[in-house]
């Protein structure tokens, strides 16, 4: 009987030892798993914070800042216009740049992080949409009805003294639509601004010299809020 009891006790001790080892192993696995989850959560949190803080520039790539700016709104009977060097020019440029700057995180959700597309606003080579409807001494004086229809009541017009190159979102130059070896350029661009503080899109319209002798319309849209520019023009 004594031998049987000893064998039973030894068996129980072995079982208890195996149970303890199993429990200890499970505890170690749980600690390791929790540590991995905590580390991944921490890394994800840091990544989200960084992506929320780091900014990217959404505006189409310009060679230079405009030499002349005109802002048209539905509130002002007289348009607001100024040139580089004027007192309000730098303030406008600061608001403009901030309006077209957003966090990397936001741009990933809106699709802006992957760049913009260029759209030709015409119905073919023989029927291009014009930027201007009239000219004086070779200089455009009135925006075309087509462009005004796109712009609506609130917009900004920017003019450049020198020819400007239009770039694709990847940084490559935009070449001729039908002649891919031809350099094209623009001197004038308009973009929409909104009286809605929740606005989410700005449309740029470039007057490019390409396959016609006069500027034709090319459009670029970005997801951005232009309300601060509207306030800048109407609350002065």
**For position 23, what pLDDT does the model report?**
67
Most confidently modeled range among 63-72, 73-82, 112-121, 136-145: 63-72
Q: Is 201 left (phi over 0), alpha (psi -120 to 50) or beta?
A: beta
Count CA atoms closer than 13 A to 32's CA, side-chain side.
6
Measured distance CA(3)–CA(116) in Å, rounded:
86
Measured distance CA(177)–CA(217) in Å, rounded:
12
What are the tens digits of pLDDT across the range 160-205?
999 999 888 788 888 888 888 888 899 999 999 999 888 778 899 9
**Full-model pTM:** 0.71
What are the boundaries of each domain within the chain? 1-53, 55-234
**For position 79, what pLDDT does the model report?**
82
Whether 116 shows a pLDDT value over 50: the answer reads: yes
The percentage of the chain sitting over the pLDDT mark of 90, rounded to a whole number, equals 31
CA-to-CA separations, 58 to 7, 11, 85, 160, 226, in angstroms, rounded: 79, 73, 25, 20, 12
Whether 57 shows a pLDDT value over 90: the answer reads: no
Whether 72 shows a pLDDT value over 90: the answer reads: yes
**For position 45, what pLDDT does the model report?**
55
26-54 mean pLDDT: 61
Measured distance CA(111)–CA(191) in Å, rounded:
20
* Among the listed residues 59, 68, 71, 126, the one whose alpha carbon sits nearest the alpha carbon of residue 97: 59
Whether 100 shows a pLDDT value over 80: the answer reads: no
**For position 17, what pLDDT does the model report?**
60
Residue with token string 């303030």 = 91
The percentage of the chain sitting over the pLDDT mark of 70, rounded to a whole number, equals 67
**Using an 8 Å Cβ cutoff, are 75 and 176 in contact?**
no
∠ CA 43-45-46 to the nearest 5 degrees? 65
């Amino acid at each position: 009987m004594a031998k049987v009891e000893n064998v039973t006790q030894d068996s129980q001790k072995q079982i208890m030892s195996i149970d303890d080892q199993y429990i200890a192993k499970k505890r170690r696995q749980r600690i390791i798993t929790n540590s991995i989850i905590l580390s991944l959560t921490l890394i994800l949190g840091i990544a989200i914070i960084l992506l929320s803080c780091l900014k990217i520039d959404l505006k189409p790539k310009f060679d230079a800042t405009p030499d002349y700016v005109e802002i048209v709104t539905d509130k002002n009977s007289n348009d607001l216009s100024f040139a580089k060097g004027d007192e309000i020019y730098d303030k406008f440029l600061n608001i403009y740049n901030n309006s077209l700057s957003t966090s990397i995180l936001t741009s990933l959700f809106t699709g802006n992080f992957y760049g913009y597309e260029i759209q030709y606003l015409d119905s073919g080579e023989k029927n291009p949409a014009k930027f201007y409807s009239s000219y004086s001494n070779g200089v455009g004086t009135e925006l075309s009805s087509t462009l005004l229809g796109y712009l609506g009541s609130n917009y900004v017009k920017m003019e450049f003294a020198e020819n400007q190159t239009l770039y694709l979102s990847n940084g490559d130059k935009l070449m001729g639509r039908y002649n891919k070896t031809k350099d094209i350029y623009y001197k004038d661009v308009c973009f929409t601004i909104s009286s809605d503080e929740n606005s989410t899109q700005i449309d740029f319209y470039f007057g490019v010299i390409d396959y016609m002798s006069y500027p034709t319309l090319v459009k670029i849209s970005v997801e951005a809020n232009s309300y601060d520019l509207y306030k800048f023009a109407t609350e002065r």
